[in-house]
Amino acid sequence: MQLVWQVPKRAALLFHLVAMATLVLYCAYRVSLGHWPMVFIYGLSLIPLTLSFVKELRGQASPVNRMVTLLLVSIGIAATCLEIGYAGMIFIFPAIFIYFFLFNIRAALMLSSAFTALCLICGAQVEANDVIARFAVASVNCIIFGAVFAFILAKQHDSLVQIAQRDPLTGLFNRSKLELDLAALAPATQAILMLLDVDHFKRINDVHGHQMGDKVLTSLGKLLDALLPDVATAYRFGGEEFLVLFNLTEPSAFNETALNLAKTTAGRFQAALRCVDVVPGSTITCSIGIAQRIAGEHIPPWFDRADAALYRAKRSGRDQVCVFEETFDAEDIPIKDTVTDSDTAIDALDTGLGNK
């Protein structure tokens, strides 16, 4: 389970401002008392906070930067507890909750517990045992509530991500997830794209109704998810169109064997789909186009080549698997626009597939 959430910039800036203002006020108060050791401690704590605030303001902050800043401030809080006891220990409680904002739950539990124990040990040097006991109970409660709160938010976050990235009908990933995965592919990443289009799907809807069409898509999604190898991810692109992304992380493994894996998977899927008994008296088939990404190739031309292979499969009588070849004639190549990003490429592909 990951972080509770990504802290928004405005919230991070507010946290910094409140912490800095508090430290400045305490520092000024200690200056008026001539308590220079505490002025030194507060001043040291202000340095990382100020630097972190500047990074937040410039939009250069990172999660690591925030974590390091919190750890440095925590050391300052512990030093304050050692010096002034009760007055410094009140900072334990907000710091505990901030740990659960910046770290995953397990790390936050360990670090906040260690931080609390350190502060209590330091505070025990100047405060009575009953005061330390009260702070210990309150701190444990804060840690427990922080962990429960973080767990609930993390579960809700995971559920929302699933809703946002899954197609509700087939259970496969949706177009939004596809766009994210394509954007995450480095320019040099090699992969294989497989496009699937259910043959004569409009006829199924017209003859048997849209509910039967939904059953076909649901069955296809389950079958596709069950047959794919671990290196492949399936997406419902829209309507009766599906995409499969083969992403092998080892470049040495990306050769003819990888392409054979895609072709074998496509053949197995087509054979299994023909055996699916969903539409009475009809056999469900699909056409498949495959294109292997060339090293350094951008996404738009890669999509164009996969789309051309799918066109060839359709023109060859449907229920075919076609791998893109450079010898394809012009009629197989979809109309290309000048595109520079994955979203535009997907839009272009959507237009092309809608004509099949």
Name the residues annotated as catalytic. Answer: 240
| Residue with token string 């006829």 | 203
- DSSP for 320-350, please give it: -EEE--TT--GGGSPP-----SHHHHHHHHH
**258: number of CA atoms within 13 Å, CB side?**
24
Report the C-alpha gap between 300 and 47 in whole angstroms. 48
- At residue 243, the 3 state secondary structure works out as strand
Burial of 180-209, coded b for 16+ CB within 10 Å and e otherwise, reads ebbeebeeebbbbbbbbbbbebeebbeebe
Contact 144, 113 (CB under 8 A): no
One-letter amino acid identity for 159?
S
Give CA–CA dist 38/265, Å, rounded.
69
- Pairwise CA distance, residues 218 & 203, whole Å: 17
Extract the tokens encoding 234.
């399936």
Q: Which residue's structure tokens are 């292997």?
A: 292
Written as six digits, the tokens of 38 are: 């505490």
Contact 207, 159 (CB under 8 A): no
C-alpha torsion sign, points 25, 27, 30, 34: negative
Q: What is the CA radius of gyration of the chain?
A: 29
